[in-house]
Amino acid sequence: MTDRIQEFLRARRLEGRDNGPCLVVDLDVVRDNYRAFAKALPDTRVFYAVKANPAPQVLSLLAKLGSCFDTASVPEIEMSLAAGASSDRISFGNTIKKERDIQRAFELGVRLFAVDCEAEVEKIARAAPGAKVFCRILCDGEGAEWPLSRKFGCAPEMAAGVLEHAHRLGLVAYGVSFHVGSQQRNPRMWDGALKSAAAIFRELSERGIQLQMVNLGGGFPTKYLNDVPAVKTYGAAIFSALSKHFGNRIPETIIEPGRGMVGNAGLIEAEVVLISKKSQDDSVRWVYLDIGKFNGLAETTDEMIRYPIRTRADGDATGPCVIAGPSCDSIDVLYEKAPYHLPISLEIGSKVLIEGTGAYTTTYSSICFNGFAPLESFVI
Amino acid sequence: MTDRIQEFLRARRLEGRDNGPCLVVDLDVVRDNYRAFAKALPDTRVFYAVKANPAPQVLSLLAKLGSCFDTASVPEIEMSLAAGASSDRISFGNTIKKERDIQRAFELGVRLFAVDCEAEVEKIARAAPGAKVFCRILCDGEGAEWPLSRKFGCAPEMAAGVLEHAHRLGLVAYGVSFHVGSQQRNPRMWDGALKSAAAIFRELSERGIQLQMVNLGGGFPTKYLNDVPAVKTYGAAIFSALSKHFGNRIPETIIEPGRGMVGNAGLIEAEVVLISKKSQDDSVRWVYLDIGKFNGLAETTDEMIRYPIRTRADGDATGPCVIAGPSCDSIDVLYEKAPYHLPISLEIGSKVLIEGTGAYTTTYSSICFNGFAPLESFVI
């Protein structure tokens, strides 16, 4: 909670506009985060993961600060261009792309594409001739709070073949990427992936192809309920792993922070709609908010991300609660497996503040599920 | 797949408008479904669960056919009124309501409200004086493919107290509701809940309060991969359970079908974006579609709803696939725990048809996650 956000919420309340949940993002925090990344990894280019929060003001600020952009789709490329990024600062980082979208990206000037199989390489060779490609490899997501599935990347032993295929089809076999898992709290997790990446560099080199870049992915955490290491700790661990595996031939590197760039810049104000018990002797209260899985808090799926929730009654005695959203959907329950402790004095109609909600909240909202509007968002 | 949908999709393709996934809903099927419910339960009023698919054309058709509407929010009440329903045909069926939303609903003429605790009764007594309330009770969701959590309803032994509280506060203690779980494939599951409801009727009667209505909820299934019993089978089982527990004093009843009303009326056409393997010797292919959890298929969460997927290569030899969506989100995987079998001859760029997608698809879409547009929808 920054002073600026506090001031904004106070004004909104005074004007009687606090009728539904809203997210407020403080650009000063985004600026600080960008500078922390730039300082922690001075030789690494920052590609902001647009999907984390594509608010135009966030993109414009980052474009001005010199950030590059990791995009998932043509609309995200267009948003990045509109924010002032030149096309050489944009990566089409989704490994799953329609050929006509690759073509459109190429027309817009994008020359850097992610792949993880030969079929995707062939699409790019046809639709974006001569472009640079990097191959994403699978890596262990241990230690991450939002661990990645096997959806993206191929086995490391397959990557050399994919990149050689790209080279043969006239593309620039440019490098290797991986992702150690979102909200990765262990800075040493980059080590194993960099070892695999270095092996791919060596194997391609033996085949006469010189890779140039390692995309270190995202995974940089934001503070939720638990403290997380500082960005500079990640920078040091990554630099140490790079030196260990690449010696004095350290390649060009890029990072793709999303959550780490905007997560702690945002705060959601919500309202307690109902507090009840399921039976007279129930020891657990149900606390229903006006925000749930479908209008902003999708990352509570499987209770993976556990947001700090602040109330005006903090400091009073607490009791266990199940926290749920306002919709008529039974899966719209935020925390039940591990009940959340909230003040016993909390009342229906009270406001609550949900911290660390700058990433993966706004665009995740459903368009109108149960008639509820998507999460309102303000960037200040 | 109806002839009308087939014709619509053919025309869309010829016009070159088939650039992204789309849902097509055939109103003739909705009409047939409404009539089947009306026939199977002739003495029961149908309250269509608007959240399942709030397309204006669907609501208008159902309003014309005589349906009532179960709503989850003020916007859904407004949509129902706009479709031609009078306010006495609208129930505010969400047990979690802001007091100002109850007041707004009351101003719009709504007089029927769901509750499951005393605090909600008190809100209604203040904001909607004299209205009718029914108390939702918890019931076992066994046999349902989308079983309901404990989010809605109170223990049956608490309901009499809640309804008596309503009576004392000047409301009409009107009845009891329950929900046997969505996509409930066992028609006998209404029996236990009706036994609890009848006991609450008796207990209130002993306290001098005559309840009048049982809301039998939804749960009526639509056909996905497995056959489901016909609506008339449900009607017979429910009538039999009503007679068993209420004798010759059968109360007024209502049902709230959503999925059962529109599920099989809709079909999504999507496109194969990529087919790949994670390693050379992988026996499972990954098939990536241009639709996933975030732009229409949210009900594949935990692989609960397993949609039939048709391809032009059906009949060819099949092999196991993981099916995933197009976004850069690792949880956007539709079927992995139990791999799906698709034709080995399926190719990148092919269209696939996802059946039974008329319910819980459009409004579940995220507004712009990863830059992807919400699911396009056509009602014909």
Per-residue pLDDT at B274: 98
Q: What are phi and psi of A71, to 5 degrees?
A: -120, 155
**Contact assignment for A153 to B278 by CB distance below 8 Å:** yes
List the Cα angle A183/A188/A189 in 5-degree steps: 55
- Whether A247 has its CB under 8 Å from any CB of chain B: the answer is no
Per-residue pLDDT at B145: 66
From B24's Cα to the closest Cα of chain A, the distance in A is 18
- Whether B246 has its CB under 8 Å from any CB of chain A: the answer is no
Nearest partner of B262 among B186, B359, B194, B169, judged by Cα: B359
Cα-based torsion angle of the residue sequence B69, B70, B75, B77 in order, rounded to the nearest 10 degrees: 50
Q: Where are the domains of chain A?
A: 3-23+264-379, 27-263
Length, in residues, of chain B: 380
pLDDT-based confidence at A121, cuts 50/70/90?
A: very high
Residue A144 has pLDDT above 80, yes or no: no
pLDDT-based confidence at B304, cuts 50/70/90?
A: confident
Mutate to test the interface with A, among B370, B372, B376 (most CBs of A within 10 A): B370
Identify which of A154, A273, A322 has the shortest CB distance to residue B278. A154
| Cross-strand bridge partners of residue A254 | A45, A215
Which value does ipTM take for this structure?
Answer: 0.95
All residues of chain A having their beta carbon less than 8 Å from the beta carbon of residue B332 are 151
Per-residue pLDDT at B150: 87
Give B250-280 pLDDT, tens digit per residue: 999 999 999 999 999 999 999 999 999 999 8
Three-class DSSP labels, B41-87 = CCCEEEEEEHHHCCCHHHHHHHHHHCCEEEECCHHHHHHHHHCCCCH
- Whether A350 has its CB under 8 Å from any CB of chain B: the answer is no
CB A115 within 8 A of CB A157: no
DSSP state, residue B307: -
DSSP state, residue A69: E
Domain B27-262 falls under CATH 3.30.499.10: no
Mean of per-residue pLDDT scores for chain B: 95
Cα-based torsion angle of the residue sequence A329, A331, A335, A337 in order, rounded to the nearest 10 degrees: 140
Which DSSP helix (H) or strand (E) runs through A336?
strand A333-343
| Cross-strand bridge partners of residue B351 | B271
Per-residue pLDDT at B148: 65
Per-residue pLDDT at B17: 84
**Contact assignment for B370 to A72 by CB distance below 8 Å:** yes
Give B136-174 pLDDT, tens digit per residue: 999 876 666 665 678 999 999 999 999 999 999 999 999
Q: Which residues in chain B (174-203) have CB-CB distances under 8 A to chain A?
A: 182
Give A44-80 pLDDT, tens digit per residue: 999 999 999 999 999 999 999 999 999 999 999 999 9
pLDDT-based confidence at A148, cuts 50/70/90?
A: low
Per-residue pLDDT at B149: 74
- Whether A368 has its CB under 8 Å from any CB of chain B: the answer is yes
**Contact assignment for B72 to A371 by CB distance below 8 Å:** yes
Tokens encoding B356: 């039974």
Give A35-46 pLDDT, tens digit per residue: 999 999 999 999
Cα A175 to Cα A156: distance, rounded to the nearest angstrom: 13
All residues of chain B having their beta carbon less than 8 Å from the beta carbon of residue A371 are 50-51, 54, 71-76, 79
CATH architecture of the domain formed by A27-263:
Alpha-Beta Barrel (3.20)
DSSP state, residue A115: E
Determine how β-strand A266-276 pairs with β-strand A351-355: antiparallel
Residues near A265 by beta carbon (within 8 Å), at least 6 away in sequence: A25, A26, A27, A29, A30, A33, A358
pLDDT-based confidence at B182, cuts 50/70/90?
A: confident
Q: Which residues in chain A (294-323) have CB-CB distances under 8 A to chain B?
A: 294, 298, 301, 322
Q: Residue A21 CA to chain centroid, in angstroms? A: 21
Tokens encoding A281: 């002797």
Nearest partner of B235 among B188, B183, B167, B176, judged by Cα: B188
Per-residue pLDDT at A147: 59
Task: Assign domain B3-23+264-379 one CATH number from 2.40.37.10, 2.60.40.1180, 3.40.50.720, 3.40.640.10.
Answer: 2.40.37.10
Which one-letter amino acid corresponds to residue A349? G
Which one-letter amino acid corresponds to residue A230? A
pLDDT-based confidence at A304, cuts 50/70/90?
A: confident
Per-residue pLDDT at B14: 93
Which DSSP helix (H) or strand (E) runs through B341?
strand B333-343
Nearest partner of A196 among A151, A245, A163, A153, judged by Cα: A245
CB atoms within 10 A of CB A347: 12
Q: What are phi and psi of A132, to 5 degrees?
A: -90, 135
CB A71 within 8 A of CB A50: yes
Residue with token string 């001031």: A7
| Cross-strand bridge partners of residue A276 | A286
pLDDT-based confidence at B178, cuts 50/70/90?
A: very high
Residue B50 has pLDDT above 80, yes or no: yes
Mutate to test the interface with A, among B95, B180, B329 (most CBs of A within 10 A): B329
Per-residue pLDDT at B144: 67
CB B333 within 8 A of CB B262: no
